[in-house]
A and B are shown apart, each in its own frame.
Chain A
Amino acid sequence: GAGVSQSPSNKVTEKGKDVELRCDPISGHTALYWYRQSLGQGLEFLIYFQGNSAPDKSGLPSDRFSAERTGGSVSTLTIQRTQQEDSAVYLCASRLTGGQLNTEAFFGQGTRLTVV
């Protein structure tokens, strides 16, 4: 596609349920990032995928959060046993790297997650 696509755009879930958020990066982009943005807050890094390398999971807030990237393309962020504090906008970005410096990160529109 022309840009980074995220789905769903909005998700309301009950506390304790699991949710899956999807990100389709720009074709050919080797780097993929997940960020979380709580209301009125800045972007909080969650996880970073680069090609076939092991992902940088240092930003995941708890073991309830996990992410995978299949085939180096689509990524899924899974939150298990959701809590109300998980409510936020989850943003995905992709970037062309692989030796090319100074490339721009393109963001999706985000998934707004509300845990009730």
Chain B
Amino acid sequence: KNQVEQSPQSLIILEGKNCTLQCNYTVSPFSNLRWYKQDTGRGPVSLTIMTFSENTKSNGRYTATLDADTKQSSLHITASQLSDSASYICVVSVDWGGGADGLTFGKGTHLIIQP
């Protein structure tokens, strides 16, 4: 069964500190992996997307890594800001080559940045 596991479930850090969120998946055949940010009361918004051949991708203070061999990804947030408080969701996509595909979502990591 395709699964995406995220850790930690929740995290509280002080403003200005760095943090790393983890995502492990068993989805196969793998197509790509996305990290989404979901602010409270809003829909998720994509931060990064990585394919099988990409090891790292940055979006401002967000840096995602991917190890397709171990099926692990991480999202590193540098110099956290209060606006980073949100849920971060890891999403893995399967492609069957014909255009039809499915998305498997992790349950997310709830991040709280304290001043």
Contacts and interface: CB of A to CB of B under 8 A. Distances in A.
Q: Do A and B come from one complex?
A: yes
B34 interface: yes
A110 B43 contact: yes
A101 B103 CA distance: 12
Interface of A: 4, 30-31, 33, 35, 40-43, 45, 48, 50-51, 53, 56, 91, 93, 97-102, 104-110
A48 B91 contact: no
Interface residues of B, number: 27
A73 to B, nearest CB: 17
Chain A: interface secondary structure? loop
Interface of B: 31-32, 34, 41-46, 49, 51, 89, 91, 93, 95, 98-108, 110
Chain B: interface secondary structure? strand
Nearest to A45: B105
Contact of A43 (B89, B100, B101): B89
A54 B60 CA distance: 40
B105 A35 contact: yes
